[in-house]
């Protein structure tokens, strides 16, 4: 393990079919005013909304609502949420939904007691939080982002064509999260598969960095193998509790900061994906799948040994009588076939990207420096063109 680090994760998790009972345990610890934040209405159709309202009422809470948080929440919606939380004098923000709703709740929580423009402060200047935070709790209904146990909060500014994530400190992590795998059974297949790839991408963004012997890499190989196994089952039978519960748990561990420890981490696939999202508003996981193969093939020569290890330990490639390069490439081919087999989108054209957008996408891509190659604009153009 290289470097120095601190590790703590303050989010309390309630997991399993009875997880919602955790809400009864948590609510007495907060004041009366609860701002209930949710998306476009799936929770009303599947009955989760009703269950939560009953629990809030039984605990004597004043319920204020902020509905209509869209996938890839916008800076305009964030402004609306800040006003709602202020007028509700919210003591707790309860986010019920997927990553978009959880991310948005965190962005509201750090902005309510602040006078600055939230987009400028957190997403352009990357300022630290200097005002009082309203605690956030999360009831997860869609799996993938890991937002239930991290400080990530991604907001899109449609006018500026920018989609940017701020990773807040552990004081902004949800205070508690409720993870009932059955709540995810109604997620449409397209979203489920996108979420599965989001998880895979989170792991790979951290795995493909560094050359030292690092326990985190061994943990990630285990998580990846479990993910591939359970994803194959869930794609055939989305109501398989065992598979869906494993996927839910892997998602949390993929991005709750543990496996990043001692790693430089890359995140370039996410930077490319976010730029595509800013221009197309496409589903997050699919923006990642669409660019991954061109990106990994582009950087493979700079991290060949790690790609070969990945091929053997995750995809079961037999290395006998093969060069390191051959093993590494075979691993990526296995990955590509698997991605196609579960129904992932493999190019940005299918996400609505047009030729006129390509230069803009390149410009909107932020460059990171923790992976095997620091890209320049020419590299980004090449990867984006190969994804088109």
The binding site for Zn ion (CB under 5 A) comprises 198
Distance CA 54, CA 49 (A): 9
Look up residue 362 and give its two tokens.
Answer: 């390149």
Contacted entry of Zn ion, ligand NZQ, none for residue 347, CB cut-off 5 to 8 Å set by kind: none
Look up residue 113 and give its two tokens.
Answer: 């007691």
**Nearest to ligand NZQ of 177, 246 (CB atom):** 177
**Nearest to ligand NZQ of 100, 365 (CB atom):** 100
Nearest to 103 by CA among 328, 310, 284, 278: 284
Order of strands across the sheet with 33-38? 12-15, 176-179, 136-140, 92-97, 33-38, 62-66
| β-pair partners for 96 | 38, 139
Distances (CA, A) of 91 to 29, 113, 137, 206: 10, 12, 11, 35
46 binds ligand NZQ (CB under 6 A): yes
**Nearest to ligand NZQ of 75, 330 (CB atom):** 75
For the bound state, the minimum distance from the C-beta of residue 212 to ligand NZQ, rounded and expressed in Å, comes to 25
Contacted entry of Zn ion, ligand NZQ, none for residue 183, CB cut-off 5 to 8 Å set by kind: ligand NZQ
Q: Which of 195, 210, 294, 303 touches ligand NZQ by CB under 6 A?
A: 195
383 binds ligand NZQ (CB under 6 A): no
**116, 121, 125, 130 alpha-carbon torsion, rounded to 10°:** 90
**Nearest to ligand NZQ of 183, 327 (CB atom):** 183
174 binds ligand NZQ (CB under 6 A): no
Distance CA 133, CA 326 (A): 51
Please, are residues 185 and 238 in contact by the beta-carbon 8 Å criterion? yes
99 binds ligand NZQ (CB under 6 A): yes
Q: Which residues 6+ apart lie within 8 Å of 64 measured at CB?
A: 33, 34, 35, 36, 84, 87, 88, 90
Helix (H) or strand (E) holding 15: strand 12-15
Q: What is the largest CA-CA distance in the chain?
A: 69
Q: How many residues bind ligand NZQ (CB under 6 A)?
A: 35
184 binds ligand NZQ (CB under 6 A): yes
266 binds ligand NZQ (CB under 6 A): no
Question: What residues from 117 to 146 belong to the interface with ligand NZQ (CB under 6 A)?
Answer: 141-142, 144-146
For the bound state, the minimum distance from the C-beta of residue 213 to ligand NZQ, rounded and expressed in Å, comes to 27
Region of 3-11, 39-47, 169-177, 213-221 interacting with ligand NZQ (CB under 6 A): 39-47
Residue 236 burial (C-beta neighbours within 10 Å; 0-12, 13-18, 19+):
exposed
Contacted entry of Zn ion, ligand NZQ, none for residue 360, CB cut-off 5 to 8 Å set by kind: none
**One character per residue 277-316, x = contact with ligand NZQ (rule: CB under 6 A):** -------x--------------------------------
Distance CA 166, CA 306 (A): 28
User: DSSP string of 190-244?
Assistant: HHHHHHHHHHHHHHHHHHSS--S--HHHHHHHHHHHHHHHHHHHHHH-TT-HHHH
Q: Which of 85, 92, 94, 97 touches ligand NZQ by CB under 6 A?
A: 97
For the bound state, the minimum distance from the C-beta of residue 229 to ligand NZQ, rounded and expressed in Å, comes to 21
**Nearest to Zn ion of 198, 330 (CB atom):** 198
Region of 50-58, 93-101, 218-226, 301-309 interacting with ligand NZQ (CB under 6 A): 93-101
For the bound state, the minimum distance from the C-beta of residue 188 to ligand NZQ, rounded and expressed in Å, comes to 6
Question: What residues from 68 to 87 belong to the interface with ligand NZQ (CB under 6 A)?
Answer: 71-72
Angle between helix axes 215-236 and 189-207 (nearest 10 degrees) is 170
Q: How many Å separate Cα 224 from the centre of its chain? A: 16
**Nearest to ligand NZQ of 202, 306 (CB atom):** 202
For the bound state, the minimum distance from the C-beta of residue 166 to Zn ion, rounded and expressed in Å, comes to 14
331 binds ligand NZQ (CB under 6 A): no
For the bound state, the minimum distance from the C-beta of residue 205 to ligand NZQ, rounded and expressed in Å, comes to 9
- Chain residues that interact with ligand NZQ, rule: CB under 6 A: 39-43, 46, 71-72, 97-101, 103, 141-142, 144-147, 150, 152-154, 165, 183-184, 186-187, 191, 195, 198, 255, 270, 284
């Amino acid at each position: 393990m290289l470097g120095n680090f601190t590790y703590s994760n303050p989010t309390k998790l309630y997991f399993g079919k009875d997880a919602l009972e955790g809400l009864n345990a948590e609510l007495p610890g907060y004041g009366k005013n609860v701002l209930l934040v949710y998306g476009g209405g799936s929770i009303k159709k599947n009955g989760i909304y009703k269950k939560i309202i009953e629990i809030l009422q039984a605990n004597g809470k004043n319920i204020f609502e902020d509905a209509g948080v869209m996938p890839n929440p916008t800076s305009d919606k964030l402004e609306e949420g800040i006003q709602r939380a202020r007028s509700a004098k919210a003591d707790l923000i309860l986010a019920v939904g997927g990553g978009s709703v959880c991310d948005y709740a965190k962005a509201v929580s750090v902005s309510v007691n602040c006078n600055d423009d939230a987009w400028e402060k957190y997403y352009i200047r990357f300022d630290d939080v200097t005002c009082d935070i309203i605690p956030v709790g999360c009831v997860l209904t869609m799996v993938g982002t890991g937002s239930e146990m991290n400080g990530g909060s991604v907001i899109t500014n449609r006018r500026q064509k920018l989609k940017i994530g701020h990773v807040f400190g552990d004081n902004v992590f949800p205070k508690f999260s409720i993870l009932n795998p059955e709540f995810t059974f109604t997620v449409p297949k397209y979203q489920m598969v996108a979420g599965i790839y989001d998880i895979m991408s989170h792991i790979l963004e951290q795995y493909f960095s560094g050359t030292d012997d690092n326990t985190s890499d061994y943990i990630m190989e285990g998580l990846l193998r479990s993910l591939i196994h359970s994803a194959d089952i869930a794609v055939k039978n989305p109501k398989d509790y065992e598979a869906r519960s494993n996927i839910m748990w892997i998602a949390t561990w993929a991005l709750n900061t543990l496996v990043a420890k001692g790693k430089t981490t890359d995140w370039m696939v996410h930077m490319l994906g976010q730029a595509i999202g800013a221009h197309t508003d496409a589903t997050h996981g699919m923006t990642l799948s669409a660019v991954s193969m061109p990106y990994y093939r582009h950087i493979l020569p700079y991290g060949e040994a790690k790609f070969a290890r990945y091929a053997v330990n995750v995809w079961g490639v037999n290395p006998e009588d093969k060069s390191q390069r051959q093993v590494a490439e075979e691993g990526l081919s296995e990955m590509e076939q698997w991605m196609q087999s579960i129904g992932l989108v493999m190019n940005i054209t299918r996400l609505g990207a047009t030729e006129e957008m390509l230069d803009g996408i390149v410009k909107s891509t932020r460059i990171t420096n923790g992976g095997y190659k620091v890209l320049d604009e020419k590299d980004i153009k090449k990867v984006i063109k190969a994804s088109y």
